[in-house]
Chain A
Amino acid sequence: MNYNWSFAPIFENWQVLAIGAVGTLRLFVICLVIGMGLGLVVALGRRAEARPLRWLSRAFVEVFRNTPVLVQILWFYYALPILAPVEIGPFTAAILGISLNSAAYSAEIFRGGIQSIEPGQWEAARAIAMTPAQVMRRVILPQAVRRIVPALTNRGVEIFKMSTLASVVAYVELLNQGKLIASIYFNPLEVYTIIAALFFLLLYPIVRLTYALERRLARSDA
């Protein structure tokens, strides 16, 4: 195993990776916001009075959780434009696939958090004549969100990792740019090592943070 690693071509082309990093970040931020926001809406939809609303939310969650996100992205990329008169580029397809998928997962996290609050909290709040909406906003959600911060952070990390799938439809992000460099310099080993390292260095501190949060939460609940 005396292979001569050569990282020079990668460092010389750092701008190529930088462009990719910007693309990754842009995709990540948009998908994070839509994914979490829509996730909360869907979670509340699952507890709605109106049956169709409950049913629709449930179907949304099941469909997007029980199919692979890559199939979703490709479906939006190749299939949706045939149905709807819209131009769908790689960026839009990736946003749709990743956000909706993440919304389904976040919805389950929110739902779990809401359900984990003891019935006594509902009863106590209702007993002082708060409306259901008030109970949710003032009593349940603040407690639930605190409990699910680690799970949501974890979801954020997953969204970041998922952004690499956009390379499959040739959206310009880190992995896609890496492929480009590797195809020019024939150095896939170095390129993919660097990319893996970049992701690790960026995400690992956040992962450690979720561990710390989980520990703190476990202690305060005990």
Chain B
Amino acid sequence: MSVLKLVGISKSFGGTRVFENVDLDVEKGDRIAILGASGSGKSTLLRCINLLETPDAGSIEIGGTKVGSAGRSGLRISERDLQALRLRAGMVFQQFNLFPHMTVAGNVAEGLSTVRRMSRPDARTRAIMELARVGLADKADAYPARLSGGQKQRVAIARALAMDPEILLFDEPTSALDPALVGEVLGVIEQLAEEGRTMLLVTHEIGFAYHVANRILFLAEGGIYESGTPDEVLKHPRRPLTQHFLKEHKRFQF
């Protein structure tokens, strides 16, 4: 069953093209890792999926329903469609973007109460459940400033999970973290993968991608440059830019 389907998505910023004509079909339970050099458009692709950026052309289908209608300058989407889409696609940002003026539980409960219209006590109960899932139930009443980077990112994951998304979008969730804190966040993501969650993950942790993903996309030259199973793309890359990228990444490994 297709959870997300992109057809012919293009995006440029003021004349500079980021990518053109990208097609992507995500099945339920897919774990897709997106790799690529810095500036290759990985973030932009994720942000086009939940419409933080509006694609210039193409169509998006999520859970079998088409989002918006083709307008003169890219997709035209009503505020209601936008909200519906975002409820189905949860997003985790590189910089966490927690709400600093709310407690940890407040962050996770916010969408439940203001968007899902859950009562505040119910939202809090649910929030604490989600926090327990990422191992942070004991931090429910702390403010984000008190947490380590790894803890912040786990809260951000709980915030996304609380909305019951059908697909999770991770944009370099560990890139802003101290190396020592990367593991705890990857652990949570791995656990979500094992539960059978559908996810798109932009990452530079190639070993983790190999281990967790069932498909790899390599972005370059304004599109999906190479794709396939982890073995195909990461062990036996066929095209030169992919080979070069992987070689550079392995340079200082032993």
**Do A and B contact each other directly (Cβ–Cβ < 8 Å)?**
no
Residues of A bordering B, CB below 8 Å: none
